[in-house]
Structure 1
Amino acid sequence: MSKMSFAASEILEGLNEALQDAKGIPVEGVKKTVVYQVKPKEVREHLNITQQEFSKAFGIPLATLRNWEQGRRKIDATAASYLRAILRYPREIMAAQS
């Protein structure tokens, strides 16, 4: 049996660490990034406005908003950032749209 290359052994070590982490076993040096999943319907409902009002206020096509809310389309990173900003600064963003 031939020896494993350095790259292959590094990959295997990383996979084993990922498996330990997935099982809840602490792994020294592993850094995690938690990604906040923004939900357009929750953002809109937090503002207590209709789809039509949200669409008009923030310049998002109504069909796009409906597709997001119904899960027919995924939200890209830019749109997710915009929705998070709307959640935090709705008045400022509405003012910037006019």
Structure 2
Amino acid sequence: MAEALAHTQGKRTGGRTHKVTVKPDEIQNARKQLGLSQDQFANAFGVSASTLRKWEQGQRAPTGAAKTLLKIIEREPKAVVRALRAA
């Protein structure tokens, strides 16, 4: 708990950080696994269709929570759909 508190305060801790990277083809594959168009995928996950297109074309890269969500969608698409339907 002390380590988590120190981390939130911006202090160095002994913990490791995990860098999440998502490549454009991984984003497109995740969308296709769900059988969604770009517009449908963007709407379902709260991003603009323009942003999604730029991610898939490699013109922009997702940041923050979007990277993590995209990685989860890629690896466990059905679980994400179930979680969103339950909400």
Q: TM-score, normalised by structure 2?
A: 0.58
Contact kept? 1:58, 1:93, Cα under 8 Å: no
Q: Which residue of 2 aligns with 1:71?
A: 58
Q: Which residue of 2 aligns with 1:52?
A: 39
- Which stretches in structure 2 are left out of the alignment for 5+ residues? 1-17
- Which stretches in structure 1 are left out of the alignment for 5+ residues? 1-32
Pair 1:92 & 2:79 matched: no
Q: CA RMSD in A?
A: 2.5
Structure 2 Cα separation of the partners of residues 94 and 67 of structure 1: 24
Structure 1 Cα separation of the partners of residues 66 and 19 of structure 2: 18
Q: CA deviation at 1:86?
A: 2.5
Percent sequence identity over aligned pairs = 31
Structure number with greater Rg is: 1
* Higher RCO (Cα < 8 Å, 6 or more apart): 2
Q: How does 1:1-98 map to 2 (within 5 A)?
A: 37-38=22-23, 39-87=26-74, 88=76, 89-95=79-85
Are residues 72 and 60 of structure 1, via their aligned partners in 2, closer, same or farther at CA, if it must alter by over 3 Å?
Answer: same
* Aligned residue type for 2:82: E
Q: TM-score, normalised by structure 1?
A: 0.53
